[in-house]
A and B are shown apart, each in its own frame.
Chain A
């Protein structure tokens, strides 16, 4: 469970990077999560769900929960990729929300949620690029 002290630090960082675009849910419940709204360079908006169980000891899982049913260049649902190295995706959740691969094994306790959100914003920009060109995410994004 995220500590109050850590929460303050995270809020400070998020206020710096994504002011007024985030909400912490279920604080103190043991199943906290962070909602962040991100806008890509192409002007599209995505909403992320960042699970905070065991944060910051464990790398948080990040899902795109809006828009739903994201598709690839060919119209295939991204959730149907399951786990994909080329698209930098981990398995979707039970609602079909895609899970982004971000920090992986470079995770450590000093990484802030602001940095996590920033990395996911990079993925979203790459996704926009994929929709334009058909190149897989792997073409734009190095493995973490």
Chain B
């Protein structure tokens, strides 16, 4: 039987160890991440580091950093003949010989505090389409526009037309100048003078104290260009880059998705709340080229947390805000917006939906779902319905495909699926619309239980995937195997073991039983007596 040590006894032993009386000490072993009792200065493990000042540094501030700091100080003093330089290829600081062994791609940092990445010149972005239009117009040697800049970052976007995409940053004046070869090679200061542009002086008005000048010239074969940032009564040369036209925007997606084909596809999205907004932008990123957006609502404060749009879109129509967000990803997308209640203007809805390849119904009430279901059945359109249930504890997605003998939404609801009573109520407006009129104001307020954005994103993701599969069917895209997997019409997702899913077993480490955070495909037979899809 071993000797039983009281806690006090153990503490005394530890105290003795740290006093140095025992010939042992506590040391941190970086390999195990544990403190170990070792013989003083003798049986220290090869990789152990002696703790000399635990109070100041739990991770044993040994002598080496001071030594390194001294060396760096010497380097930067110039006394060592070396200096620290940033290598843009590795992204690391390197010690190099002063002015001698700097690699060709290295840039010397002169002011780390102001610019961690040590940019030498401001960057100016001009939109290729606008530049082309400027050249085509031909009769204006100089034209005034606007630039939007982030001054701390020295980045400016210049425009001579109203930007297709919503702008941010601080505005200032910009010019496009088209000059002869001779003028192009003039001294910059002389050219500024010749063009009659005043160098802005420092003022209290941030909108007036900078000007961007973009100069272009054509030598018969190519277009030469440069840009100048005019400020503080002087000028600085900038790097002028183009924002390309559409041919280059999605070049990276080629191979996985048939971008050229998706570009011609059209999608109608009805409902641009937290679902519709995320899905619209994902589809734009995937290369869908044509959108019809339907929603009569405006962005309100209560939307912001889960919506893709932010505070700068408050009060705007959701259709317009999402149109702009899509254009940020694909400035060449063709987007039509309809600020209508589809239940009040069904004829307009019908006429606009007839020519789309796919309908996404992402509304939060059943009348519009029923309407879209009927339209899809009558017009043989593919349609996907998606929603979250209470507090986004889960959600479901239903796909109707008219090309096969598949159930419609009415078949599904008739079988007790897609149960409207469990629908998530995310706004008071929705509560007023969906709950019975006799529901008290308190009960309506209590019914508003919003889930997290991260809870609805998996459901959005599934809708995006199903949409892309449907739109690229038979086109030999990179989604062909996914098409074989996602064959169900109805999918259920659970986020948390609550209310509807409270009886699910814990996920833990098991993979072979029902659980949260997994998709479940449900085979739903067509209702042979359905009055909606059997009469079309």
A interface, CB within 8 angstroms of B: 5-6, 9, 54, 56-58, 83-85, 89-91, 101, 104-110, 112, 143
Contact = CB atoms under 8 A, between A and B. Distances in A.
B438 A106 contact: no
Interface string B426-442: 00000000111111000
Contacts of A109: 370, 373-374, 410, 531-532
7 contacts: A5-B535, A6-B535, A58-B370, A83-B437, A105-B366, A105-B420, A110-B414
B348 to A, nearest CB: 15
Contacts of B366: 105, 107-108
Given A105-B434, A109-B373, A58 B343 contact: yes
Contacts of B529: 110
**What's the interface size class on B, roughly?**
20 to 34
Nearest to A10: B531
Given A5-B535, A57-B371, 7 more contacts: A54-B343, A90-B437, A90-B438, A105-B421, A108-B413, A110-B529, A110-B530
B370 A104 contact: no
Interface in B369-385: 370-371, 373-374
Contacts of B410: 108-110
A85 B530 contact: no
B435 to A, nearest CB: 8
Of the candidates B343, B371, B531, the one having the most CB atoms from chain A within 10 angstroms of its own CB is B531
Contacts of B371: 54, 57
B421 A58 contact: no
B133 interface: no
A84 B439 CA distance: 9
B169 to A, nearest CB: 46
Contacts of B531: 6, 9, 56, 109-110, 112
B94 interface: no
Contacts of A143: 436
Contact of B370 (A57, A91, A101, A106): A57
B438 A57 contact: no
Nearest to A3: B535
B370 A56 contact: yes
Contacts of A89: 438
Contacts of A6: 531, 535
A110 B416 CA distance: 12
Of the candidates A56, A83, A89, A108, the one having the most CB atoms from chain B within 10 angstroms of its own CB is A108
B367 interface: yes
Of the candidates B410, B420, B421, B438, the one having the most CB atoms from chain A within 10 angstroms of its own CB is B438
Contact of B438 (A83, A105, A108, A110): A83
B209 interface: no
Contacts of B532: 56, 109-110
B436 A90 contact: yes
B530 to A, nearest CB: 6
Contacts of B436: 85, 90, 101, 104-105, 143
A91 B437 CA distance: 8
Contacts of A107: 366, 420
Contacts of A9: 531, 535
A108 B414 contact: yes
Contacts of A104: 436
B527 interface: yes
A121 to B, nearest CB: 20
Given A107-B366, A110-B530, A57 B374 contact: yes
A77 B420 CA distance: 33
Nearest to A101: B436
Contacts of B414: 108, 110
Contacts of A57: 343, 367, 370-371, 374
Given A54-B367, A110-B531, A84 B373 contact: no
B39 to A, nearest CB: 76
Interface string B382-421: 0000000000000000000000000000110110000011
Contacts of A83: 437-438
Contacts of B374: 57, 109
A76 B93 CA distance: 87
Contacts of B421: 105-106
A6 B374 CA distance: 12
Interface in B480-536: 527, 529-532, 535
Contacts of A91: 437
Given A106-B420, A108-B366, A84 B438 contact: yes
Contacts of A106: 420-421
